[in-house]
Amino acid sequence: MEPSVTDIWLWHVQLLIPKLFDFSAILSAPHHAEEKTQWEHPKTGKRKRIAGDLPYGWEQETDENGQVFFVDHINKRTTYLDPRLAFTVDDNPTKPTSRQRYDGSTTAMEILQGRDFTGKVVVVTGANSGIGFETAKSFALHGAHVILACRNMTRANEAVSQILGEWHKAKVEAMTLDLSLLRSVQHFAQAFKAKNLSLHVLVCNAAAFALPWSLTKDGLETTFQVNHLGHFYLVQLLQDVLCRSAPARVVVVSSESHRFTDINDSSGKLDFSRLSPPKNDYWAMLAYNRSKLCNILFSNELHRRLSPRGVTSNAVHPGNMMYSSIHRNWWVYTLLFTLARPFTKSMQQGAATTVYCAAAPELEGLGGMYFNNCCRCMPSPEAQSEDTARALWALSERLIQEGAGSQSG
């Protein structure tokens, strides 16, 4: 008997993951009861079966007629359709497709859909707004214990409340971290270690952009310290926890703007005066670009050093022309964003590449790479230099030692 159009349509419904639950209300309960664990295409005979536990936030219950139904506590929905049908596996798989699974329109929540990160600990710096917040929220709504490491605790606590408003059982908290102050980084690391937690994902997301020239209390140009040295020190202090928690991942948020600068002098050696310039040589955009180049060099060298111990690191570009709170210091960027807004990413889309590198199973054990739109791409030749990466690492260690020494003196 030839299958009807309705039969074929129903089979395709369960393959359309983003729309799955939109269709669930119009599918009949008896059909759900009959198709609990397996779908079979009515024409090709291709079979798919359910695998794994229910996604985070879902519970299975039984109605008064003895039929099983499912409750989505996060989105407050009920359906007789098993949500695991969105993540079925082939019983008779064919040759896998070579098409890229995710792209620039993918959201962080879509990447984590169906995953349960209960028992995993995630730290996100600068997580009170923008892509840092969306990264933290996405992991928290999928079961992870998420720590928002932020300078402004008022905004951080508001972000925690917002996440808890979406899912009251989310395990999320805020801790103070000011990357412009080495002592604050020390205090954060000490406070985190006192919790006796593992650390499976560390997202170095916080950044300063378009700041007027200033020196931190540690005597360094602020953009350089916040965007690079503070994160470098944080990873140094937490690397023992990362290694003990392995497999663990570090994700460093960089930018395509790293391509428009260099941090070496004319002889090819690392030039500290370019990283932390005096006031008369300072240009805010150039300082930002150089710090983003440092991010990739740091991530690559970190991977080379810690991957033998089970800790991988990748750098990411979140997206083009995304407006967030880090741009409030530069009115020109605000104007550009207003004009370009129809072509920009949402914050959820901006967080997707970070979340992909932090969670994708296919990246387990892989690092030292640079990603854009959830796809690996090659950074600038300067960012690929192992010599420059090693020189930056040595310089960063010396600056940390000098800064820590001056604080204790």
Q: What is the pLDDT of residues 326-337, one digit of tens each?
A: 445 555 555 554
pLDDT, averaged across the chain:
83
Check residue 37 and give its pLDDT: 44
Beta strands at 58-62 and 145-150: parallel, antiparallel or unpaired: unpaired
pLDDT tens readout for residues 254-286: 999 999 999 999 999 999 999 999 999 999 999
Check residue 5 and give its pLDDT: 39
pLDDT tens readout for residues 195-208: 999 999 999 999 99
Check residue 71 and give its pLDDT: 84
SS (H, E, C) 276-289: CCCHHHCCHHHHHH
Check residue 85 and give its pLDDT: 65
- Pick the most confident of 9-18, 56-65, 101-110, 335-344: 101-110
Q: Pick the residue with more confidence: 57 or 71?
A: 71
Q: Pick the residue with more confidence: 46 or 132?
A: 132
Strand (E) or helix (H) holding 271: none
Q: In what order do the strands lie in the sheet with 47-49?
A: 38-40, 47-49, 89-90
Question: By the 8 A CB rule, do 66 and 29 touch?
Answer: no
Taking the whole predicted model, whether its pTM rises above 0.85 is answered as: no
Paired tokens of 135: 């990264």
Check residue 70 and give its pLDDT: 82
Asked if residue 396 has pLDDT above 60, the reply is: yes
pLDDT tens readout for residues 162-212: 999 999 999 999 999 999 999 999 999 999 999 999 999 999 999 999 999
Check residue 409 and give its pLDDT: 43
Beta strands at 47-49 and 38-40: parallel, antiparallel or unpaired: antiparallel
Asked if residue 406 has pLDDT above 70, the reply is: no
Q: Using alpha carbons only, what angle is made at residue 327 by residues 323 and 333, rounded to the nearest 5 degrees? A: 75
Q: Which of 235, 353, 362, 246 is nearest to 294 (CA)?
A: 235
Check residue 73 and give its pLDDT: 76
Residues in the chain: 409
76: alpha, beta or left? (left if phi > 0; alpha if psi -120 to 50):
left
Check residue 87 and give its pLDDT: 55
Check residue 89 and give its pLDDT: 47
288 is catalytic: yes
pLDDT tens readout for residues 324-381: 444 455 555 555 545 444 457 899 999 999 999 999 999 999 999 999 999 999 999 9
Confidence of residue 12 (pLDDT cuts 50, 70, 90): very low
Q: How many CB atoms within 10 Å of residue 235?
A: 22
pLDDT tens readout for residues 76-127: 778 887 776 655 544 555 444 445 789 889 999 999 999 999 999 999 999 9
Lowest mean pLDDT among 135-144, 312-321, 369-378: 312-321
Sign of CA dihedral 224, 227, 230, 236: negative
Catalytic hit among 233, 288, 323, 356 = 288
Check residue 14 and give its pLDDT: 37
Asked if residue 39 has pLDDT above 60, the reply is: no
